[in-house]
Chain A
Amino acid sequence: MIAAHLPALQIVLPLAAAPLCLLLRRGTLAWALALAASWAALVCAALLLRQVLISGPISYELGSWAAPWGIEYRVDAVNGFVLLIVAAVGAVILPYARTSVAHELPEEQHATFYTAFLLCLTGLLGVTITGDAFNLFVFLEISSLSSYVLIALGRDRRALTAAFQYLVMGTIGATFIVIGVGLLYMATGTLNMMDLAERLPPLAGNRTVLVAFAFLTVGTGLKLALFPLHFWLPNAYAYAPSVVTGFLAATATKVSVYVLLRFFFTVFGVGYSFEVLSVGKLLIPLAAIAILVCSTVAIFQNDVKRMLAYSSIAQIGYMIMGIGFATTTGLTAGILHLFNHAMMKGGLFLALGCVFLRVGSVRLEALHGLGKRMPLTMFSFVLGGLSLVGVPLTVGFISKWYLVQAALERDDWILAVVVLVGSLLALVYVWRVVEAAYFKPAPEGAAKVEEAPLSMLIPTWVLIGASIYFGIDTSLTVGVARQAAAQLIGGAS
């Protein structure tokens, strides 16, 4: 009985908990409720993915309105996997949030924070689960609006301008998406994705569909910080509260990448997107530039959070490159990296949150000598950093293995080299932090620093541990990613 309504529960639970958090007013109570809601969401996501892997895609009619008219929730291997990523990151980060938020935000804002956090989680889950193009836009707006709030809560006054910048760019992106969806509706008379997938192929030469495709690509590109559309991201990540940065870095861009996948492969179909329009020829060069340029920019950042933000843009480049190949191996690489990057970048940002809690800054100079003073935190950072580089036995290596394979399948040597050069650039920026933390002496007269509390260390280590574990035992991640890739390439079904 309940199992049948899992797709609805996935969204309803965090959505209902959000306003309750606001009503509770007390920070601790709100936190407890948010924690419960996020764990419930994780259970739902895990059960859904299990069901999908066993018995194939699930279709759920919201409010029992039949599909093309009502809103359909549709879970297959692709979004089942993304749901799990988002829900898992949410569930891991909330225990961490309590101490970090208590430290970084004034007491009266705590309840608001958890409300916005849950709304953001709801929005991201909603975007992922829905099978309706317009509903997708609605959830996208829910997640975006709440993330503007979350970023603006940052203590630094620059957080306000960062949030504003993101607001402007994000709204442009969302507008483009809604225009695209509107044009699709104009051409086909439907908003259901499955329905769209059936009706679009005969309209391949239609100019309206072409324009819709362009609007959707650019709009989603803005949301996922595709290379020349990434300017909002570094500031937003650098000035947001630590928890928010960790959460958004691990989930928000991943969900946008998923949206891109969904539109390219399911709605428009791989034939239209990659053969008729050859969007790969646009995506791959942009991805390659993102990898090279943003990794290089990251090297010159002195704010470690900002450095990781630039690294994120480069890492998104890896995903987009995999998608741009439009082959099973390439897609596997892209989808794998979705998960892998969520684990390592989430873990890295959480480790930085620990540093911020104890030291009050995440500039490179502030990290001097921390290897000795906060050994567990800094060691988790080293492991996460090695994963970014793509050292064997970390998830980063697995992603790169598939991505380079995909490039070699096309006999594309230049791209294979670009991916590997990206790794080496990552080594340079990661190593600046390692040297600062382990081989530079602590500044004279620095205050005594103790290790971060367990409530923050454990979530950090869960994510970092996952980024090691799934680098060694890849059966789950590679298995799901392959299946998802095969499904997307296989067409709409």
Chain B
Amino acid sequence: MSPPDAILLSLAIPLAGAALIALAHRRPNLREAVTLVTSGLMFLTVASLVPEVMAGGRPEATLIEMLPGLPLRFEVEPLGMMFGLLASGLWIVTSVYSIGYMRANDEAHQTRYYVCFAVALASTIGVAFAGNMMTLFVFYEALTLSTYPLVAHKGTDEAMRGGRTYLGLLLFTSIGLQLLGILWTWRIAGTLDFTVGGILAGKASGPVVGILLLLYVYGIGKAALMPFHRWLPAAMVAPTPVSALLHAVAVVKVGVFTVMKVVVYIFGIDLLAATGHGVWLTYIAAATLLSASLVALTQDNLKARLAYSTISQLAYVVLGAALANPWGVIGGSMHIAMHAMGKITLFFCAGAIYTATHKTEVSQMTGLGRIMPFTFGAFLIGSLSIIGLPPLGGAWGKWYLMLGAAEGEQLIMIAVLMISSLLNVAYLIPIVARGFFLPSPEPQPASAGAAAAPRGGIREAPMFCVVPLCLTALGCLALFFFADPIYRLLEPIAAP
């Protein structure tokens, strides 16, 4: 399989999978088998590109010339490679988890759910591999639209409201601001290709750079910079696997990934550093970072708390990009992967808790740790990774970000990162502590009479749910020890 074929195949496989899933809607077992096979195949196809990219190659493929000078073109560079691997790899785990979750909770419209999931993954890969801003935008919008049915899945008034906020904010920012930025870029640069060193260097200067940067960072609503972050908590009405893969990995990471791409390949970090426009962006990111953490402290609903935590963690990546130096870019990019692994674990745990006990509020989770030790153990590992403690993957992202801040002589940002870590401790660790150390308030047997488990017994969620979350928790651990390949993969994007 030649690399260009692999690129197109990794888009075609999930789309074909979506069609097959739709066809198999009367036979749930076959349908789920299709999902699993599709995700496996897709991961292998994406992974087959790694050697070439590691060796410094930039495989590309052109689909069609959409407008004169603006083809739908794909080019795999290190950042996209990492993101593609991450999204397609975690899709496999999430598919397994979805099966457990959706069946245990007896959700309706499961075929629509799996179809949209596959289309969303195809869009994510399209974004990851996009060779120009136009292609990226196309798939960015496709992702918004294909995830809407997942958010509004339940069809209740609350889900519809959430869906409306989701779609409204994401499309408003992308059409109202981002598209304007793209059109303006096209007008002054005459190209939208992602080019090493940026395409705006020498073409734009002074306030134009600032305004464009503003249009982009706020236009990329998926990066959830305040005040355009409301869609993310709203999206939490979705079933938990959706929140896990899409709103901790695919969708939000597409947002920060796009910010990264724009900063590195459209503006060029040198241009940002030279014009000094990166500086105010670091302050915007820092403000989001801290305030979202503070809001997370106040949330009792577990998923809402995780959502605000995500908003805060996304701002880390934006901060890395805004620092506009190699360490910052590498730190931000690494944080995409590290946070993804940690946050998906936490969401899996939240879903497992809901499946096993139907509890959604943190205050109800007292004593649950002893009933669900695997889930809470994984939650602890995920939390520690998010906080950034070794020996867990999250430590590396923060490490490089701090290096970047030091390099940029923005000592205040180092302080911000430290404070944020403390806040992370404050809103994540009590959940685990409450689970393990506080006694369970209710006498157990009352709930189900004779069938109830004996006191102290283990009642975990279905295997399909527990195994994936243990895997991702182990993944957090593995990422700490095997961060080197990622670093080597990413190195070229920061080097001039």
Please, how many angstroms separate the alpha-carbon atoms of A398 and B179 in the complex? 12
Q: Is the CB of B145 within 8 A of A391?
A: yes
Is residue A420 within 8 Å, beta carbon to beta carbon, of the partner chain? yes
Which residues from chain A contact B184 at a C-beta distance below 8 Å?
408
Is residue B326 within 8 Å, beta carbon to beta carbon, of the partner chain? no
Residues of B146-197 whose CB lies within 8 A of A: 149, 152, 155, 159-160, 163-164, 167-168, 171-172, 175-176, 179-180, 183-184, 186-187
Is residue B450 within 8 Å, beta carbon to beta carbon, of the partner chain? no
Is residue B65 within 8 Å, beta carbon to beta carbon, of the partner chain? yes
Q: Is the CB of A408 within 8 A of B183?
A: yes
Could you say which of B134-142, B241-249, B295-303, B487-495 contacts chain A? B134-142
Please, how many angstroms separate the alpha-carbon atoms of A171 and B418 in the complex? 75
Please, how many angstroms separate the alpha-carbon atoms of A214 and B161 in the complex? 50
Q: Is the CB of A408 within 8 A of B137?
A: no
Q: Is the CB of A478 within 8 A of B179?
A: no
Q: Is the CB of B176 within 8 A of A393?
A: no
Which residues from chain A contact B457 at a C-beta distance below 8 Å?
none
Known: A393-B142, A401-B67. A439 touches B160 (CB 8 A): yes
Which residues from chain B contact A438 at a C-beta distance below 8 Å?
149
Chain B, residues 111-154, CB within 8 Å of chain A (1/0): the string is 00000000000000000000000100110011001000100100
Q: Is the CB of A439 within 8 A of B175?
A: no
Please name the residue on chain A nearest to B65 by beta carbon.
A475
Residue of A386, A392, A405, A441 with most chain B CB atoms under a 10 A cut-off: A392
Please, how many angstroms separate the alpha-carbon atoms of A401 and B138 in the complex? 13
Q: Give chain B's interface residue range (CB within 8 Å of chain A).
A: 20 to 34
Known: A424-B171, A472-B66. A405 touches B137 (CB 8 A): no
Q: Is the CB of B66 within 8 A of A424?
A: no
Which residues from chain B contact A194 at a C-beta distance below 8 Å?
none
Q: Is the CB of B175 within 8 A of A420?
A: yes
Q: Is the CB of B183 within 8 A of A401?
A: yes
Please, how many angstroms separate the alpha-carbon atoms of A75 and B187 in the complex? 34
Shortest distance from the beta carbon of A408 to any chain B beta carbon, whole Å: 5
Which residues from chain A contact B441 at a C-beta distance below 8 Å?
none
Shortest distance from the beta carbon of B125 to any chain A beta carbon, whole Å: 16
Is residue A488 within 8 Å, beta carbon to beta carbon, of the partner chain? no
Please name the residue on chain A nearest to B186 by beta carbon.
A405
Count of interface residues, chain A, beta-carbon cutoff 8 Å: 30
Known: A427-B171, A472-B64. A404 touches B155 (CB 8 A): no
Q: Is the CB of B187 within 8 A of A405?
A: yes
Shortest distance from the beta carbon of A15 to any chain B beta carbon, whole Å: 39
Is residue A390 within 8 Å, beta carbon to beta carbon, of the partner chain? yes
Shortest distance from the beta carbon of B216 to any chain A beta carbon, whole Å: 15
Please name the residue on chain B nearest to A405 by beta carbon.
B183
Of A389, A417, A424, A431, which is within 8 A of B180 by CB? A417
Residue of B65, B145, B180 with most chain A CB atoms under a 10 A cut-off: B180
Which residues from chain A contact B142 at a C-beta distance below 8 Å?
392-393
Is residue B207 within 8 Å, beta carbon to beta carbon, of the partner chain? no
Which residues from chain B contact A435 at a C-beta distance below 8 Å?
160, 164
Which residues from chain B contact A472 at a C-beta distance below 8 Å?
64, 66, 72
Q: Is the CB of A473 within 8 A of B175?
A: no
Is residue A474 within 8 Å, beta carbon to beta carbon, of the partner chain? yes
Is residue B202 within 8 Å, beta carbon to beta carbon, of the partner chain? no
Of A420, A440, A474, which is within 8 A of B66 by CB? A474
Known: A408-B184, A416-B183. A386 touches B167 (CB 8 A): no
Chain B, residues 252-274, CB within 8 Å of chain A (1/0): the string is 00000000000000000000000
Of B66, B137, B167, which is within 8 A of A431 by CB? B167
Residue of B67, B152, B159 with most chain A CB atoms under a 10 A cut-off: B67
Which residues from chain B contact A416 at a C-beta distance below 8 Å?
180, 183
Known: A386-B145, A391-B141, A392-B137. A423 touches B66 (CB 8 A): no
Which residues from chain B contact A392 at a C-beta distance below 8 Å?
134, 137-138, 141-142
Which residues from chain A contact B449 at a C-beta distance below 8 Å?
none
Which residues from chain B contact A389 at a C-beta distance below 8 Å?
171, 175
Which residues from chain B contact A412 at a C-beta distance below 8 Å?
none
Is residue B485 within 8 Å, beta carbon to beta carbon, of the partner chain? no
Which residues from chain B contact A386 at a C-beta distance below 8 Å?
145
Is residue B496 within 8 Å, beta carbon to beta carbon, of the partner chain? no
Shortest distance from the beta carbon of B345 to any chain A beta carbon, whole Å: 31
Residues of A396-422 whose CB lies within 8 A of B: 398, 401, 404-405, 408-409, 416-417, 420-421
Known: A386-B145, A472-B66. A420 touches B180 (CB 8 A): yes
Q: Is the CB of A420 within 8 A of B64?
A: no
Please name the residue on chain A nearest to B157 by beta carbon.
A439
Which residues from chain B contact A408 at a C-beta distance below 8 Å?
183-184, 187
Residues of B31-78 whose CB lies within 8 A of A: 64-68, 72
Q: Is the CB of A424 within 8 A of B64?
A: no
Known: A401-B183, A404-B183. A424 touches B176 (CB 8 A): yes
Please name the residue on chain B nearest to A400 by beta carbon.
B179
Which residues from chain B contact A401 at a C-beta distance below 8 Å?
67, 183
Which residues from chain A contact B134 at a C-beta distance below 8 Å?
392
Which residues from chain B contact A393 at a C-beta distance below 8 Å?
138, 142
Please, how many angstroms separate the alpha-carbon atoms of A111 and B126 in the complex? 52
Q: Is the CB of A420 within 8 A of B176?
A: yes
Shortest distance from the beta carbon of A230 to any chain B beta carbon, whole Å: 25
Please name the residue on chain A nearest to B68 by beta carbon.
A478
Residue of B149, B160, B183 with most chain A CB atoms under a 10 A cut-off: B183
Which residues from chain B contact A423 at a C-beta distance below 8 Å?
175
Q: Is the CB of B66 within 8 A of A409?
A: no
Which residues from chain A contact B159 at a C-beta distance below 8 Å?
439
Which residues from chain A contact B175 at a C-beta distance below 8 Å?
389-390, 420, 423-424, 427
Which residues from chain A contact B149 at a C-beta distance below 8 Å?
438
Shortest distance from the beta carbon of A417 to any chain B beta carbon, whole Å: 7
Which residues from chain B contact A440 at a C-beta distance below 8 Å?
155
Shortest distance from the beta carbon of A331 to any chain B beta carbon, whole Å: 16
Q: Is the CB of A420 within 8 A of B179?
A: yes
Which residues from chain B contact A478 at a C-beta distance below 8 Å?
67-68
Q: Is the CB of A409 within 8 A of B138?
A: no
Shortest distance from the beta carbon of B183 to any chain A beta carbon, whole Å: 5
Which residues from chain B contact A431 at a C-beta distance below 8 Å?
164, 167
Please, how many angstroms separate the alpha-carbon atoms of A391 and B176 in the complex? 12
Shortest distance from the beta carbon of B17 to any chain A beta carbon, whole Å: 19
Q: Is the CB of B137 within 8 A of A474?
A: no
Shortest distance from the beta carbon of A295 to any chain B beta carbon, whole Å: 13
Shortest distance from the beta carbon of A484 to any chain B beta carbon, whole Å: 16
Please, how many angstroms separate the alpha-carbon atoms of A421 and B149 in the complex? 24
Please, how many angstroms separate the alpha-carbon atoms of A435 and B67 in the complex? 32
Please name the residue on chain B nearest to A441 by beta carbon.
B155
Shortest distance from the beta carbon of B289 to any chain A beta carbon, whole Å: 29
Chain A, residues 445-487, CB within 8 Å of chain B (1/0): the string is 0000000000000000000000000001111001000000000
Which residues from chain B contact A390 at a C-beta distance below 8 Å?
175
Shortest distance from the beta carbon of B73 to any chain A beta carbon, whole Å: 13
- Can you give 17 contacting A-B residue pairs, CB < 8 Å? A386-B145, A391-B145, A392-B142, A393-B138, A393-B142, A404-B180, A405-B183, A416-B180, A420-B179, A421-B176, A424-B171, A427-B167, A427-B175, A435-B164, A473-B64, A478-B67, A478-B68
Known: A421-B176, A475-B65. 16 other contacts (CB 8 A): A389-B171, A392-B137, A398-B67, A401-B67, A404-B183, A408-B183, A420-B176, A420-B179, A424-B172, A424-B175, A427-B167, A427-B171, A431-B164, A431-B167, A439-B163, A441-B155
Q: Which 8 A-B pairs give the minimum distances between C-beta atoms? A: A392-B138, A439-B155, A404-B183, A408-B187, A423-B175, A392-B141, A420-B176, A391-B141
